[in-house]
Amino acid sequence: MKLLMYLVYGDNTSYYQEAKYSILSALSYLNKDQQDIEIIVVTDRPQSFANFPILIETFDEQRYQEWIGKDSYNHRAKNRSIAMILEKYKVPLVFIDTDTYFIKHPIEIFNKISTSNSVLFNQETPISDCQNIYEKLQNTSFLDFYNKQYYFPDNAIMWNSGVIGLHPEHLILLDEALVLLDNFYRLSDGIFIVEQLAISEILRQKTTLHASDDIVVHYFGKEKLFYDQQIAYYLSQHTEKSLIKQPNSISKLKLSIPKPPIAYRFLKKLLHLQFKNKKLRKVLLELSYAQFRYKNKAQDTAKIIWLTKAIKHLHKLYDPIKKEHNNTMSQLLEVQSKWVLTQDFNAQLIEQWHSLIKKYNGKIN
């Protein structure tokens, strides 16, 4: 047996939706060719996955507190939960972050794993390029798992840990990485990505590392908001039972950042050249992306993110004049609430925003 593992916990609905979408993408391949791969979800809310044909391991608040340690570093739970499953099942394991989906059969990741080979998502950058971490960790040392002095290497490389593929014999490597993780976290004053730096360094030093970005898509940053909105829409249009019976229907949903055609965008950029401030022109462009009617329903739903971004950026620009024009801003905030709650992209409401922008264009530095 081989295990495809997810860790999902807490109250954030989007994590559960992401996990379900990722699981469905895996099932779309496993239903055709199972390859003795089981999916396991480690969660504090097992009822959220009641309909899925998967294994479930639960944990409580006490276990979670043990996992995150005395520094309350939540990404530490990834290391500890993987160690728990690897120790219990003693089979090759691939951990997958929730914000992922498969574009090839999961067996292709397992084919890269052996006693001397491990897998992460992809290689990102030499640590010397990550100045915020490098400046705090360079020339530091501490006792490692074997109580030997560990000196932070200048040639350390940051890999993305959205995928972690391990052999059962690698269990001890998770314990070694945990010691690095705890020390990196304290020495860096709590920089959250040290979890992936720790596992990157141990696997890089003790195994031959392989990437898996040719098999899995791992989305984050700007993409994540748009993708999450489309996934939420997709899941809302089907029952879980129907999706599980036909997981290959997931291929009909093409996750993307919705943008109008190039000609439309070019015309809008030309029209916005009348405004002096580049950040203001960016807000106007985002508003135009929110106004556009997309044929794809999932994309049309996701355009609410463009509106949210425009509102956020506009508030930053107009912060100095909020007090002077309190009533106008209150009206616009009311319009904003209506948009977000009902997704009512009324042209007249958007014109109110344009009027305000034009009125105070000269007051924005």
* pLDDT over threshold 70, residue 220: yes
Block residue for tokens 């992209």: 345
On whether residue 67 sits in a domain, the answer given is yes
For the ranges 90-99, 248-257, 312-321, which has the lowest average pLDDT?
Answer: 312-321
Regarding whether 188 and 126 lie in a shared domain, the answer is yes
On whether residue 205 sits in a domain, the answer given is yes
Question: What is the model's pLDDT at position 343?
Answer: 53
Regarding whether 263 and 212 lie in a shared domain, the answer is no
Question: What is the model's pLDDT at position 344?
Answer: 55
Q: What is the DSSP letter of 99?
A: S
Collect all residues with Cβ–Cβ distance below 8 Å to 130 and sequence separation of at least 6. 158
pLDDT tens-digit series, residues 116-142 = 999 999 999 999 999 999 999 999 999
Residue with more model confidence, 171 or 322: 171
Question: What is the model's pLDDT at position 262?
Answer: 96
Nearest to 47 by CA among 240, 227, 235: 240
Regarding whether 156 and 82 lie in a shared domain, the answer is yes
On whether residue 250 sits in a domain, the answer given is no
Our separate counts of H helices and E strands in the chain read 15, 11
Vertex 214 angle, CA 208 and 217, to 5°:
115
On whether residue 249 sits in a domain, the answer given is no
On whether residue 13 sits in a domain, the answer given is yes
Which of 200, 218, 236 terminates a domain? The answer is 218
Query: What value does the mean pLDDT take over residues 293-308?
Result: 90
Regarding whether 284 and 180 lie in a shared domain, the answer is no
Regarding whether 303 and 171 lie in a shared domain, the answer is no
Regarding whether 79 and 184 lie in a shared domain, the answer is yes
On whether residue 240 sits in a domain, the answer given is no
Question: How sure is the predictor about 290, in pLDDT bands with cuts at 50, 70 and 90?
Answer: confident
Nearest to 210 by CA among 166, 156, 153: 166
Residue with more model confidence, 356 or 70: 70
Instruction: List Cα–Cα distances, 96 to 7, 15, 30, 180, 202, in angstroms.
Output: 8, 12, 16, 21, 19
Q: What would the two tokens of residue 245 be?
A: 């019976």
Residue 58 pairs with which residues in a beta bridge?
43
Residue with more model confidence, 196 or 308: 196
Regarding whether 195 and 276 lie in a shared domain, the answer is no
Range of the domain at 296: 258-363
Question: What is the model's pLDDT at position 102?
Answer: 98
* pLDDT over threshold 80, residue 149: yes
Question: How sure is the predictor about 287, in pLDDT bands with cuts at 50, 70 and 90?
Answer: confident
Question: What is the model's pLDDT at position 315?
Answer: 73
Regarding whether 58 and 191 lie in a shared domain, the answer is yes
Regarding whether 264 and 213 lie in a shared domain, the answer is no
Question: What's the CA gap between 37 and 113, in Å, rounded?
Answer: 14
Question: What is the model's pLDDT at position 365?
Answer: 44
Tell me the CATH number at 210: 3.90.550.10
Regarding whether 176 and 89 lie in a shared domain, the answer is yes
Domain count, the chain: 2
Regarding whether 168 and 35 lie in a shared domain, the answer is yes
Nearest to 113 by CA among 96, 91, 98: 91
Question: How sure is the predictor about 89, in pLDDT bands with cuts at 50, 70 and 90?
Answer: very high
311: exposed, middle or buried (Cβ count in 10 Å: 0-12, 13-18, 19+): buried
Query: What value does the mean pLDDT take over residues 258-282?
Result: 88
Which of 218, 233, 268 terminates a domain? The answer is 218
On whether residue 228 sits in a domain, the answer given is no
Which of 218, 247, 272 terminates a domain? The answer is 218
Residue 59's CB: how many other CB atoms inside 10 A? 19
On whether residue 232 sits in a domain, the answer given is no
Q: Structure pTM? A: 0.89
Regarding whether 116 and 14 lie in a shared domain, the answer is yes
Question: What is the model's pLDDT at position 225?
Answer: 95
Instruction: List Cα–Cα distances, 14 to 49, 69, 99, 239, in angstroms.
Output: 14, 25, 9, 17
